[in-house]
Chains A and B, each alone.
Chain A
Amino acid sequence: MGLIEEVAKTDRPVLGSDIPILVFRVFRHFSAGYVEEVLGRGAAVVFQNGGRELGKEAGTMLYKPDPEAYLREVCQFVRDSRIGILQPRELTDKLLVVDLDECITCAGMSSIGKRICQFEVGFVAGVTEVLIKKKPKAYETKCNANGEGTCQVTVELG
């Protein structure tokens, strides 16, 4: 059983299974802040690799051999999960560029002058890895938290 299936089991008859996004963000940003304090620039690798693991597991569950159908499936999953609205912007044999609008981590935040969505970068890299069957480099090319209006991930395919 994968980690997604494992953590999907909830037993909260009084509190239910939904939480406000504020709660998610508080958990996310406090833990990220401390990990960054301890690991310095190593924190980005840790978060990105965590996102990759999730992306690979989700990608394996959603996999379709046709790349376009697979990409549609991933976009729908991201939207249904309310992680954000994933929109492919560019796809060549060398690059995949996707926007992540309404990002769960940072949409609406004031600019803090840096890009912070390494986990989401890893997620996109992980689902891409399932498709291309090798570990691609990926980086964030826009981020709400950096005042750029959306989050954007660029994946090097070649």
Chain B
Amino acid sequence: MSSAGNRIERIQEVLRSLRAVSPDIVGSAMVSTDGFIIASLLPSEVDEELVSGMAAALLGVGERIAGELMGGSMEQTYVRGKLGYVILNAVGNEALLIVLTTPDAKLGLVFLDIKRRVHELTKIL
């Protein structure tokens, strides 16, 4: 397997472990900031190409808002919907992690799990 293929497999493994550690997490994906899916465990009905574009745009908005309103950098953006949360977390400067949860997810625990996995993903990248 090529080193790129090996890296994607390792990222996929981190995404699997994230889902395994919490029943509240129902899907996840790693996306590059230029809008490409790197690895995905999103539900099959999700249009991954569209989601990756939206995630990159949302990351940009998050960064702009964090910078303009709080004068700092963005770490995380989340959207709460009726069916759950979508959490976006920057992974280094070139990628982001998208996590989908159930509506009743215990966010504190989910955030902690995400923080650990982001650390692992940063090292893999």
Total contacts A-B at CB 8 Å: 44
State the main secondary structure of chain A at its contact with B.
helix
Question: Interface-forming stretch among A13-21, A37-45, A82-90?
Answer: A37-45
A39 close to B35 (CB less than 8 A): no
B60 close to A40 (CB less than 8 A): yes
Q: How far is the CA of A43 from the CA of B36 in the complex (A)?
A: 14
Within the complex, which residue of B36, B49, B57, B67 is in contact with A42, where a contact is CB–CB below 8 Å? B57
Q: Which B residues are CB-close (under 8 A) to A39? A: 57, 60-61, 64
Q: Which A residues are CB-close (under 8 A) to B35? A: 45, 48-49
Interface centre among B33, B56, B59, B61 (most CB of A within 10 A): B56
The answer, yes or no, to whether B41 is at the interface (CB within 8 Å) is: no
State the main secondary structure of chain B at its contact with A.
helix
Q: How far is the CA of A56 from the CA of B59 in the complex (A)?
A: 26
Q: How far is the CA of A40 from the CA of B33 in the complex (A)?
A: 11
A56, chain B: closest CB distance, angstroms: 11
A1, chain B: closest CB distance, angstroms: 21
B68, chain A: closest CB distance, angstroms: 10
Interface size on A, residues (CB 8 A): 15
Additional A-B contacts beyond A40-B67, A45-B34 (7; CB < 8 A): A40-B60, A40-B64, A41-B33, A41-B60, A45-B33, A46-B53, A49-B35
- List residues of chain B with CB under 8 Å of any chain A CB: 33-36, 49, 53, 56-61, 63-64, 67
